[in-house]
Structure 1
């Protein structure tokens, strides 16, 4: 009887922690979500339109693995030729988002159409998380690793069926997607040439839903670094007014990558583009090689910097995160040609 009571208490604590993690993120997006849906007629279901009409195909796919299955969308730009091996950018959405919304918010497909890239958008299931958050925090049960494996399965499918170049793959994420992106990069560094985290929590700070909220608030102890010498270069973007993910998580991510690479040189500069929010950019280098780049944006909350105002988790007043990510990724892709 005691064992049953203990198990029930653990399940109750886990569910309470999960609700706290996803609930805080979703509340932060309520205002933005209302503006994004105010033109929808009540009671009328709408099929999400192509997020980038005229720029390429918006293809549907399904990845399977031990953690079940996940749908995904693939943007394939117009004009790719038979035998061409385009690079691949993997985009992991945040809580309350889906591939179409994330594509509209980031506008990554516009860059992909111009630069002849494929863009993969894995989709979290409501069965796996009611708010569609990737379970980046649940490493103790193996749920996070299972979702990471599903993302790898989707990448393999795209490489096999659509000719993506396995030597030029980058992974990008927002919020919960950023947490999973970083976890993937540390678990399978040989699979990625670059990783970009926007408003996320780095690996090692949480093992379950009950500890995730503490990590998001920046109250988790620093993580131990093991076997990180081969991690791909990191770009981390963070707003200093983020009320969901504390800015200290961005510094912790950069610290992890710098320590893993033995990076000692730090370059610090202040930038502002036009009337956009100013930012501080810090580079952690070993010799001439940049291991991690930290971008902290003054006044930015929990939102994609530079995204359109009508989308949830999107702030047009910030510097263009998508352009920054592409410049960062393009340098790594160029070195693999």
Structure 2
């Protein structure tokens, strides 16, 4: 995105907030006259369509998105995906719908209880945060996490973001009110995870979170703000906690422009495993290192080729002092899609290493410590 276009969007946003829609329209019209193509289109927190097509928005749509102010990061395709047919589950398993309500708000969710529990204690709980325009059912199908839950005796919770809270169903990782511990979406999600862990007897220190894109960014928020509850988080194609404070800075962070340092910004206190594609045009790959927070720390580097053919580089940093344990996977040539995902779900890339399996391995291969408070 050119500096001229960015400046125009900033002026248009300010005009819209001042209720000067006519002025915002004029500014946008002038900006569009600059020539908007692949490198000057509005970036998105939603996963892109497979082709790197030019982004051209109707003027009315841009104005509508600007009117949303801090409530939305526009998606490349904000249309809802058609509902997936209900997939069969193994005999004895359940994939039930529920609703959680707490002091900070409420969200619907789907809860997967594997047949492999069969009266035994679960090995852990994973909170799975979908990307923009996705649904819990879509995300479950694409990540294959329910199948892994059967193998490893895991409980999986899939919260559902509402279009009332974000028009593209994105988790609001970029809003200051949703970046702290005691309010907003982090408080809702932590409350849901804690309630499910207590209800189903999840051992202390075995609650985890993972997400894609906006969901990955929110998982990073949870790792930074609730490390006493979430022992480890998985961040796929996401951004670090505190990367943005509004729509304009979110666009900048997604382009790979480092955010100004903030007092409350730090690498995730929880252990973290990061996946990112080197060809991601939606969230710049440089964000992976910011999520991992590995700068200046000794690390072991290795590489390999996934069964599907994609090469990857893996960076492992062991904890030192109070620092977290970190793994960072960079998948060569991959875009903004769940690595090793299943074609039944949206925004997946089956040719990369299996992010779901590696996250579960990372989550469970750690000492049981700390209590879910």
Answer yes or no: same fold by TM over 0.5: yes
Q: 1:22 to 1:230 in 2, by over 3 A?
A: closer
Shift of 1:199: 0.1
Decide whether the 8 Å contact of 1:168 with 1:333 is kept in 2: no
Matches within 5 A, 1:101-180: 101-139=138-176, 145-180=183-218
Aligned partners of 1:21, 1:181: CA distance in 2, in Å? 27
Q: Which residue of 2 aligns with 1:215?
A: 253
In structure 1, the gaps of 5 or more residues are: 32-44
TM-score between both structures, scaled by the size of structure 1: 0.81
Aligned partners of 1:147, 1:232: CA distance in 2, in Å? 18
Aligned partners of 1:218, 1:193: CA distance in 2, in Å? 28
Task: Count the aligned residue pairs.
Answer: 311
Aligned mate of 1:74, from 103, 111, 119: 111
Shift of 1:154: 1.1
Shift of 1:290: 6.3
Aligned partners of 2:207, 2:365: CA distance in 1, in Å? 12
Q: Which residue of 1 aligns with 2:131?
A: 94
Decide whether the 8 Å contact of 2:45 with 2:214 is kept in 1: no
Which one is further off, 152-161 or 315-324?
A: 152-161
Aligned partners of 2:215, 2:152: CA distance in 1, in Å? 24
The structure with more helix, counted as a fraction of residues: 1
Q: Which residue of 2 aligns with 1:248?
A: 286
TM-score between both structures, scaled by the size of structure 2: 0.74
Shift of 1:327: 1.1
Decide whether the 8 Å contact of 1:61 with 1:73 is kept in 2: yes
In structure 2, the gaps of 5 or more residues are: 1-13, 29-39, 52-81
Shift of 1:26: 4.2
User: Does the alignment pair 1:267 with 2:267?
Assistant: no
Shift of 1:8: 3.3
Aligned mate of 1:326, from 360, 365, 369: 360
Decide whether the 8 Å contact of 2:244 with 2:259 is kept in 1: no
Q: Which residue of 2 aligns with 1:276?
A: 309
Q: 1:229 to 1:274 in 2, by over 3 A?
A: closer
Aligned partners of 1:54, 1:236: CA distance in 2, in Å? 33
User: Does the alignment pair 1:8 with 2:45?
Assistant: no
Q: CA RMSD in A?
A: 3.3
Q: Secondary structure of the residue that 1:158 maps to in structure 2? A: helix
Aligned mate of 1:299, from 300, 318, 333: 333
Q: 1:136 to 1:55 in 2, by over 3 A?
A: farther
Aligned partners of 2:196, 2:128: CA distance in 1, in Å? 13
Shift of 1:198: 0.2
Aligned partners of 1:231, 1:21: CA distance in 2, in Å? 35
Decide whether the 8 Å contact of 1:271 with 1:280 is kept in 2: yes
Q: Which residue of 1 aligns with 2:94?
A: 57
Shift of 1:292: 1.4
Shift of 1:286: 4.1
Which one is further off, 317-326 or 279-288?
A: 279-288
Aligned partners of 1:147, 1:140: CA distance in 2, in Å? 8
Q: Secondary structure of the residue that 2:121 maps to in structure 1? A: coil
